[in-house]
Structure 1
C-alpha cells in the first residue's frame, strides 16, 4: 500500500524553523532567559517581599520578555528593532566621506565645538570602466536592465510558454540574484526638442503638421502630469575569493549575465548590461529617487574637490 504525506512549504523559504511549541529558536531562547531571570528573582526576593509586591515587580519583566519574543514591528522582530534603534541612537549622525578618522576643526575657527563627524562608510568602493560596482572585500556587482513584455495581451498558450521559459531560468540559478523594479521620472524635454528640430526637415506638410501636433501633445502631457517609467534591473553579486578574487568575480558575473540573456531571450526579454555612466547615474539617483536624472558631465568624480559654487 502506498501513501503520500502533504508537507506545507512556506512561501518565504528563509523563514526560521519552529522547533518547540510553535516557537523559533530565538523566541524560545528569549522566553528561557526571561523565565530564568524570574526564577532567580523569586529565589532572591520571594521570601523577603510580599507576594503581591513581587508579582508587581515580576509582571513587567514577564510582559517585556513575551513582547520581545512574539511581537513584531514592520515585519521584523521587536528585539531586533530595539537593537537597531539603540545602534542608531549611539551612532554618529554627521558623516563625511573621509578615508580615515575625520580630523577636528582647527582651533582658529570661531565656531561652536560640536561632535567630530564620523567617516561615511559606503558599501560601494567605486564603479569600474566596465560598469561593475566594486564592493571591495565583499565582491563585485553587475547590473543589467531588462525589458518587459505584455503578459495580458498574450494568448493562453503564449502565456504558458513565457512562464515555462522564465521557470527554466529560475531553475538554472545556482546563486542568488536580485530583481529590482523601480520607478523613475521621465524628462521629455530632449524628445520634444529633437522632434521640433526635425519638423522643418520633413518632406510632407501633413507629416510636419502631425509632428507639430505630437510635440504639442508631449509638451502638454509633461506640463500637466508627473511622468514615471518603470525600470526592471537584474543585479548579480559575486564574492571575491582568493588573491585574484576581483578578476574572477567579474568573469563569473559576466558569465551569469550572458546566461540570463540567453534564457530570458526565450521570453522576449532583452538583457542589457549597464555601462559605467549608467551605473553611476543609477547610484546617484538612489539618494533622491524623485529628482530628475543628472547628466554624466554634472556628476563629480570620486577624487574631485567640490567647492561651494559647484552644483554637483
Structure 2
C-alpha cells in the first residue's frame, strides 16, 4: 500500500493575494493614495501645468509604492516604518542601568551623561527547573539539542530527518523557536589538566606523545578562536502543562532522529539569555575582570 505524504506549507503566515497579486494590506495602502492622486489630478488639471502636478504627486505615489511593495529581510517597509515611529528613542542597554560607568564618564569628561534606559523583555520569571513565565504569552521551556551534520547524511537519511521534523511541526500546537549560535570554547582547564597528567607520566613515550598533543592544542588555541555550536529550542504554550507536553514532543523527535535533547534549568536559561543580549560582557564586568587580573599580576 502506497503511503501519502503530508504537505507542510513553506510559510504558514504567508498573506493571501486578493487583487492583482496584492495582499489586503498592500491594497489598503495603495488604494487611498491612488484615489487621492486621481482626485487631485481631476480637480487641478485645468488650473495647473502637468509638470507641476507630476512633481507634486510623483513622490507621494513612489512613497506609497515603496511602503506597500518593498521588503527588507522579508519584512515590509511599512512595518519597519511603523516600528521606527513607535520605537524607543535614545540608547538602550540590557538589564538594570549601571551607575558606575556613567559616573566615571562624568568625572573624566566633566559632563553630565544621562543613564540609558533598561530593556524590558517579555520574561517575567524563570523557575529553577527552567520554566519561563512570559505573562500573557504563557509559559516556555528551553531545550539544548545536539546538532546534526545534515550535509554528510545520505539522501535517504536527509529525507528521513526532514520528514521527522515536518511531522513534529505538524503535530504540535506550541510556538517553536530554534536558535543556533556559536560560542567561544575555553580550553584553559583542559590544557591545565593535560599538563598535570603529562607530568605524572614521567619521561616515557606516552608522556612525550601527551606533551606533543598539549603543545599542539596550545598553538591551536593561541592561533584562532575555537567555537562550539549551540542549538536552543524554545517551546511556548498558553499554559505550563502545554509547554511541558511540547518539550516532551521535542525530546521524542530528537530521540527518533538520533540526537540528544536536554531540558535547560533556570541557571542555564539565564546564562544563554545573558550571552544572547550581551555576548562580550557589560562594561562593569569587563572592568572587574581587568581589575582582578591587574591585582593578581601585582601580587
Which piece of structure 1 moves more, 262-271 or 119-128?
119-128
Instruction: State the partner residue of 2:263.
Output: 273
CA contact (8 A) 2:251 2:260 kept: yes
1:65-116 alpha-carbon deviations (Å, 9 max, x no partner): 222222233432222222233334x6243568569xxxxxxxxxxx867768
CA contact (8 A) 2:8 2:170 kept: no
Please give the TM-score of this superposition, normalised by the length of structure 2.
0.76
More helix by share: 2
Instruction: State the partner residue of 1:251.
Output: 241
Which piece of structure 1 moves more, 139-148 or 34-43?
34-43
CA contact (8 A) 1:183 1:231 kept: yes
CA contact (8 A) 2:147 2:229 kept: no
Shift of 1:227: 1.0
Shift of 1:233: 1.3
Instruction: State the partner residue of 1:143.
Output: 142
Aligned length: 273
- Structure 1 gaps of 5+ residues are 1-7, 100-110, 240-248, 300-305
Which piece of structure 1 moves more, 154-163 or 137-146?
154-163
CA contact (8 A) 1:130 1:275 kept: yes
DSSP-derived class of the 1:145 partner: strand
2-structure distance, mates of 1:199, 1:36 = 82
DSSP-derived class of the 1:142 partner: strand
CA RMSD of aligned residues (A): 3.6
Shift of 1:254: 2.3
Instruction: State the partner residue of 2:204.
Output: 205
CA contact (8 A) 1:69 1:79 kept: yes
2-structure distance, mates of 1:169, 1:197 = 47
2-structure distance, mates of 1:209, 1:308 = 38
CA contact (8 A) 1:30 1:69 kept: yes
Q: 1:278 and 1:118, CA in 2 relative to 1: closer, same or farther beyond 3 A?
A: closer
Instruction: State the partner residue of 2:100.
Output: none
2-structure distance, mates of 1:80, 1:188 = 45
5 Å matches for 1:27-66? 27-42=26-41, 45-66=44-65
- Structure 2 gaps of 5+ residues are 1-6, 98-109, 291-299
Instruction: State the partner residue of 1:103.
Output: none
Residue 288 (structure 1) aligned to one of 257, 278, 283? 278
Q: 1:94 and 1:61, CA in 2 relative to 1: closer, same or farther beyond 3 A?
A: same
CA contact (8 A) 2:174 2:242 kept: no
Q: 1:27 and 1:9, CA in 2 relative to 1: closer, same or farther beyond 3 A?
A: farther
